[in-house]
Amino acid sequence: MSDLDEIINVTFAIDSSGISKQNFFVPMILSHTASFAERIRFYSSMAGVIADFPITTSPEYINAAAEFAQTPHPALIAIGRATTPITLAYKIAPRTVAAGSTYALDVAGTGVTSTRVSYTPAADLTGTLLPRTTNVLTLNNHGFTTGDGPVRVSNSGGALPTGLAVDTDYWLINVTANTFSFATSKANALALTAVALSTDGTGTQTIRRAQNDVVCAQLKQALSAVVGANYTVAQVQQAGETDYLTVTANTANAWFALGTVDGTLLDAALTNAGDPTTDLAAVLAASAQWYQLITLYNSPSYTLAASAWVESNARTYIVDFNDTTDINTTSTGSSGTGDAINAAGRTRTLWQYHPRPQDALSASLSGRIVALNPGSWTAAFKTLSGPSPVILTDTQKQNLKARRGNYYTQRAARSVTLYGMVGSQSYNFFDIVVGLDFIYNDIQTRVFGVLVGNDKIGFSDEDIDQIAGAIRGGITTWKSDAYKIISVGTPDSTSDPIPTISFPTVANISTTDRTNRNLPNGVLVFRLLGAVQSVAVRAKITF
């Protein structure tokens, strides 16, 4: 809330919160690795950011660079210092498994070599794994090379050779084009150390390559091999083909990003616990000179806590996350992070789906709009520098819109943001929230200027008109081309009124109000200008 609320009370029918006018152009990135002593620092260029965050793969560097890379971009950004430790964690699970489909993740992180890890399963191979001579198994033209794997084996109509087990990862040793052996690790396979088999197999054995658990095992191997990996990968064993991966930071506050290349094949979501509200309160207490929040560890608990804090503290929040539940499932009010934000009717949070946190979509959008006057923009149709566009299926688009979610995609061969919505269906769009915040604070600033600019404003109609005149000056600004927040109005229209401000005459102000030095019942009337974001054209054609 503004520190002028005690003196100048402004009430909107749909909101009553505000923030100092000069803060509208400053975003704040909340860092869990900042080492400076103060709780917040301000930066006018990347040179200052680099001095504090020199590692180019850190989330602070990436997101600050995204802010400054836009055209236009903010003149100033802030980075706040959080002290609460966060241990980043992901859950990765195949959605469907099919031979020939590529299951891929884009990996990035602080000190991590950016890598795309992938697995394209070939079809399962079925045959009789005989004879057992020197632990070598026969499968005509198997196509394996030494070190291939992990694969798994199964059996029908008999038993596996003693020494092999189901639900176990094996790597293969190529002996000839028609024979191979099993090893218990890739290192053993490369060292030609085979599993010792003590009996022959019977029935039909299958080398499993296209199944849920094998996809998990393959991705686990690939993720663990990424250079500079600052995380540990575990495969959670479950009955049937339902295993999944957990990827957990090795140390508190270590940051990495796993981006799904195809959200129809792999499910991904951040799962780390966390609540930044104590840190946000401390940063705000240190300086209120910022308006838009950007966070970096966007699990459901972390994001929802930040969103709730923003609602109570008159800031705004632009956040993206790669929770595929939000695009792949029907909205229930709790199916995914975005679904929960929407169900809470959050007014001040614009959330976006993007599979790659390393693309810094939210910081990019923030940088693109925060430099502009409130009211002069919408968050839709913005082309950004940096983020990759996302292609969704029709079903995924429907699921996203049902949650009032947003994303960055391509239309007519151009990358643009869609749709600029917030969870609240009273406000509907993010630019409305910012525009009303601006009006709220402009009124406070202008009226306060009248109060401090005069030795006394008396209870006379002439003095009261000075206050009304200050607000009329605001009306001129809000309807100008530089802001476009309110309509200029149409004469004699009730649905599009001419903007006006009125106060009661002194004769109609109660003795109690005059005794308490309270000027009551100011009435401001206007229509929000809004914005066009879809167009319908009806063609009438004759021959």
- For residue 161, what pLDDT band results from cuts at 50, 70 and 90? confident
Residue 537 pLDDT > 60: yes
> Of the ranges 9-18, 264-273, 306-315, 534-543, which one carries the lowest mean pLDDT score?
9-18
- The whole-number pLDDT of residue 143 equals 87
- The whole-number pLDDT of residue 129 equals 66
- What distance in Å separates the CA atoms of residue 301 and residue 249, rounded to the nearest whole number? 17
Q: Which is it for strands 137-138 and 103-109: parallel, antiparallel or unpaired?
A: unpaired
- What distance in Å separates the CA atoms of residue 475 and residue 529, rounded to the nearest whole number? 13
What DSSP character marks residue 170?
B
Across 98-163, the runs of DSSP E, i.e. the strands, are 103-109, 112-119, 125-127, 137-138, 152-156
Give yes or no for a contact between 207 and 124, defined as CB atoms under 8 angstroms apart. Answer: yes
Cα torsion 27, 33, 39, 42: sign: negative
- What distance in Å separates the CA atoms of residue 241 and residue 231, rounded to the nearest whole number? 25
Residue with tokens 């129809």, as numbered in its chain: 264
Residue type, 33: T
Sheet of 137-138: strand order equals 137-138, 179-183, 171-176
Q: What is the CATH number of domain 125-208?
A: 2.40.30
- For residue 205, what pLDDT band results from cuts at 50, 70 and 90? confident
Cis peptide upstream of residue 357 (ω within 30 degrees of 0): no
Nearest to 207 by CA among 119, 127, 271: 127
- The whole-number pLDDT of residue 16 equals 35
Average of pLDDT values for 278-298? 97
Percent of the chain, pLDDT > 70?
95
- For residue 22, what pLDDT band results from cuts at 50, 70 and 90? low
135 CB neighbour count, 10 Å cutoff: 16
Average of pLDDT values for 246-266? 97
- What distance in Å separates the CA atoms of residue 378 and residue 512, rounded to the nearest whole number? 45
508 contact partners, CB below 8 Å, separation of at least 6: none
Length of the chain: 543
Residue-wise pLDDT for 425-478, tens only, equals 999 999 999 999 999 999 999 999 999 999 999 999 999 999 999 999 999 999
530 contact partners, CB below 8 Å, separation of at least 6: 432
Residue 362 pLDDT > 90: yes
SS3 of 458-484: CCCHHHHHHHHHHHHHHHHHHCCCCCC
Give yes or no for a contact between 217 and 234, defined as CB atoms under 8 angstroms apart. Answer: no
- For residue 1, what pLDDT band results from cuts at 50, 70 and 90? low
- The whole-number pLDDT of residue 435 equals 96
Residue-wise pLDDT for 35-65, tens only, equals 999 999 999 999 999 999 999 999 999 999 9
Phi then psi dihedrals of residue 366, to 5 deg: -55, -50
Residue 18 pLDDT > 50: no
Residue-wise pLDDT for 518-532, tens only, equals 999 999 999 999 999
Give yes or no for a contact between 375 and 529, defined as CB atoms under 8 angstroms apart. Answer: yes
Residue 130 pLDDT > 70: no
Residue with tokens 């197999």, as numbered in its chain: 201
**Hey, what are 171's tokens?**
């790597």
- The whole-number pLDDT of residue 201 equals 81
**Hey, what are 294's tokens?**
């950007």
- Domain layout of the chain by residue ranges: 21-86+273-430, 89-119+215-270, 125-208, 454-543
- What distance in Å separates the CA atoms of residue 145 and residue 130, rounded to the nearest whole number? 19
Nearest to 212 by CA among 245, 260, 248: 245
SS3 of 354-408: CCCHHHCHHHHHHHHHHCCCCCCCCCCCCCCCCCCCCCCCHHHHHHHHHCCCEEE
Q: What is the secondary structure of 258-303 as a DSSP string? A: EEES-TTTEEEEE------HHHHHHHHHH-----EEE-S---HHHH
Residue 134 pLDDT > 80: no
Residue type, 157: G
Residue 15 pLDDT > 50: no
**Hey, what are 88's tokens?**
């980043």
- The whole-number pLDDT of residue 498 equals 97
Rounded mean pLDDT of the chain? Answer: 93
- The whole-number pLDDT of residue 145 equals 94
Average of pLDDT values for 195-224? 92
- What distance in Å separates the CA atoms of residue 272 and residue 248, rounded to the nearest whole number? 9
C-alpha to C-alpha distances, 132 to 126, 160, 194, 205, nearest whole angstrom: 17, 11, 12, 13
